Amino acid sequence: MFSRLGAIAAGAGYAGLSFLEELFPELKVDTKPHSKNSSESASQQTGALVPVQAKDPLQAFIEESQRNKRLSLYSAAFLVVGTVIPPFRIVGIATLFFASIPYLRDIWQNARTEKKITVDLLFFFANVITVGLGQHITSAINMWLVYSGYELVGRVKNSTQKLLTDVFDQLPGTVWIMCDGTEVEVPISSLKAGDVLVVKGGEIIPVDGYIQQGIAAIDQRALTGESQPAEKSEGEYVFANTLVLSGRVLIKVDKSGEETVSAKIVKALQQSMDFKSKIQLKGEQWAEKATTPTFLISLPIFLTLGPSSAAIFIYSHIGYRIRLLAPLATLEYVTEASRAGILVKDGRALESLYAVDTVVFDKTGTLTDDIPEVKRIVAFEQNSERQILTWAAAAERRLSHPIALAITEKARQEDITIEEVETSDYQLGFGVKVNFDGKTIRVGSLRFLKDEGIKIPKKISELQEDAHSAGNSLVFISADDKINGAIELQAHIRDEAASVIQGLRRLGIKHIAILSGDHEEPTRRLAEQLGVDDYFFGVLPEGKADIVKQLQSEGRSVCFIGDGINDSIAMKTANVSISLKGASSIAVDVAEVLLMDGHLANVPKLVDIAQRLDAELKRRLRLTVIPSGINLVSVFYPRFGILGSLLLNTGFFFVAARDPMAVFNSDKNKPGDDAPSRQT
């Protein structure tokens, strides 16, 4: 007997010491070995004192939940010991009260704000009944379960945030910039637009900017989800938080800090985490409507069947569980989408996408590439095709619009050296005039040439009509005062377009349509080639929203895929909107979902994620309702007990939450861990 009492006393003593450490953290003894020069080396690396950073609110919430969970466990331990040694019962009750203070504080604040019977207040009433029945151990276990739920939600949300923002942890504290031809190390916080940064293989690019010199293979997975490295060279734009795998580049800073694309992505993702799903909102509405009736019905149950049955009846309420389980599911699938290079700016878009039965593609820049391809070169009189292309490339050399890029790319393919022009005059949307090789070269539309006083032969107009009927465009080239040739440009269908359409069919999308500003013939031909159900041609930008409304009036749920900037009205009208503009337009893109790599291939994957999210939300709703039904039956069988009711609810909660727990555990193996590490 004495040995038993000694073991109990030892256990109680240990629990008591742990309890005191929880109450007074400063009493804890740090058993981890310290490096003698750790603080000194840290200050030497930074060259200054390291300021103490404010604790992240979410991390503080997790730590408070863990602390109160442990206090609840200590309370249960003291109460168990108190069944043998009565004084410990008093300590256990005091500990339980202390652990309940944050819970009581939240209930009081919610009651003052809502000014009605809330779910929290309802459950508090059940807790009062439990304590009143003298079931202090059950009450302590209940508080442990409550704080365990809080901790789970906090840790999953924290893990999700880390998965979305982990890329920032890789930014160096200092960077190297070019100063009068010399590399100088400066703090990253001192960077400003116009600085020229030096980045070598194995280092993270800390800014958005243009490559001024050099060539490099860059891993852009953090932004686009694309595993294949991109080769970047002089004049090309690069993004912060991407990794230089090989090479050395000088980057002219355009944006840094919170102005970079990656910072805006993180901000959008953090906002998406706060949206409630429709199922959650519906569940909360049910819970809200049932709260007051549950409380009122519990009163006669209390008087007739007893307080234990009243408490079990209250614990049948779904409000607490649905409030925790639904957002965890949305977080999980938003995270999965971000790993694939899909930025979900509004978490509700994933749920809305499940109900979509119609997908409308904008043609230009969505089903076709932004940059057209040269179909043929027409030379008049004694001119050669190579000469026509040379003149056109020289005139378009310094321009960056799609037609100029198509012409200069064709010249490079033909090994034509593009020389500097003497002077140039560019008229937006019409054409360009330059002095080159002793001639005045004009490249542009017929309207531009007419305005320049060039005579237009009849055969030229016929040539243009033939091109337009085929859905192509013509750019005319004039040397001095006559038309010498033309270049026919054809829109190039994206390589992945056909497979994307097929993928959407397999996932159950019933109606697929194309919107185009082109003539009927090329739009019809594209629709037949891709196997879509409907097409609309000659549609002006402002008319796209009318088409979306027309489809919605037929009872369809519409997803619009296009340019999130130029198609903004249509996107706001659609049930779900997806943009292919990629990372560079995030700040002004109105779409709810952005495909960061600018390709269509992820559209079926996005629909699949949305369908799985819907199935998961419904699964969790079912697992929320089942224990409620069992508890209602148990009201008439008091032997089931309040503890049994609590354990039943908690068991179903953790079964339903198994996938978010996997997300939480995945923070130990974050995506990108296999990427080359940054050299120091």
> What domains lie within the chain, and their CATH numbers?
1-26+54-170+260-337+608-680 (no CATH), 172-205+207-255 (2.70.150.10), 341-369+494-601 (3.40.50.1000), 373-490 (3.40.1110.10)
- Angstrom CA distances, 372 to 429, 467, 565, stand at 16, 14, 20
Say whether 106 sits in a helix, a strand or coil.
helix
Q: Do residues 445 and 456 lie in contact, with contact meaning Cβ atoms separated by under 8 Å?
A: no
Greatest mean pLDDT among 329-338, 361-370, 372-381, 443-452 lies in 372-381
What is the gyration radius of the CA atoms in the chain, in angstroms? Answer: 33
Give buried/exposed letters for 112-135 (b at 16+ CB in 10 A, else e).
eeeeebbbbbbbbbbbebbbeeeb
Write the DSSP symbol of residue 636.
Answer: T
Asked whether the beta carbons of 74 and 18 are under 8 A apart, the reply is yes
According to DSSP, the β-strands at 431-436 and 424-427 are: antiparallel
Amino acid at 571: M
Which residues of 165-207 form beta strands (DSSP E)?
174-179, 182-187, 196-200, 204-205
Residue 513: which residues within 8 A CB-CB, separation 6 or more? Answer: 358, 359, 360, 361, 532, 533, 534, 535, 536, 551
426 alpha carbon, distance to own chain's centre: 40
**What is the residue whose two structure tokens read 């990656």?**
262
Distance CA 223, CA 525 (A): 35
Beta strands in 400-462 (DSSP E): 424-427, 431-436, 439-444
Tens digits of residue pLDDT in 551-602: 999 999 999 998 655 677 788 889 998 988 654 454 445 778 888 777 888 9
**Structure pTM?**
0.62
Residue pair 503/606 in contact by the 8 Å Cβ criterion: no
Q: How far apart are CA 34 and CA 315, in angstroms?
A: 49
Count CB neighbours of 256 within 10 A: 22
* Cβ pair 183, 176 in contact under 8 A: yes
Of the pLDDT bands very low, low, confident and very high (cuts 50, 70, 90), residue 230 is confident
Give rounded-to-5 percent helix, strand, coil for the chain. 55, 20, 25
Extract the runs of DSSP E, i.e. beta strands, from 511-641.
511-515, 534-536, 558-562, 576-579, 593-595
Q: How many CB atoms lie within 10 A of CB 359?
A: 25
Read off the pLDDT of residues 286-296 as tens digits, 9 standing for 90 and up. 667 778 888 88
- Which H or E run contains 208? strand 208-219
- Poorest-pLDDT segment among 639-648, 655-664, 670-679: 670-679
Query: CA-CA-CA-CA torsion for 219, 221, 225, 228, nearest 10 degrees?
Result: 20
CA–CA distances in Å: residue 265 to residues 272, 408, 632: 11, 33, 46
CA 97-101-107 angle, to 5 degrees, is 125
pLDDT tier, 52 (very low <50, low <70, confident <90, very high otherwise): very low
In whole angstroms, what is the distance from residue 244 CA to residue 238 CA? Answer: 10
* CB half-sphere exposure, 223, CA atoms < 13 A: 27
Q: Which residues of 32-41 are buried (b: 16+ CB within 10 A; e: fewer)?
A: eeeeeeeeee
Q: Which among 26-30, 302-306, 395-399 has the top mean pLDDT?
A: 302-306
For residue 338, the number of C-alpha atoms closer than 13 Å in the C-beta half-sphere is: 31
Percent of all residues in the chain with a pLDDT value above 70, rounded to a whole number: 75
Q: Is the CB of residue 121 less than 8 Å from the CB of residue 107?
A: yes
> Which pLDDT band holds residue 151 (cuts at 50, 70, 90)?
confident
Pick 222 or 41 by higher pLDDT.
222
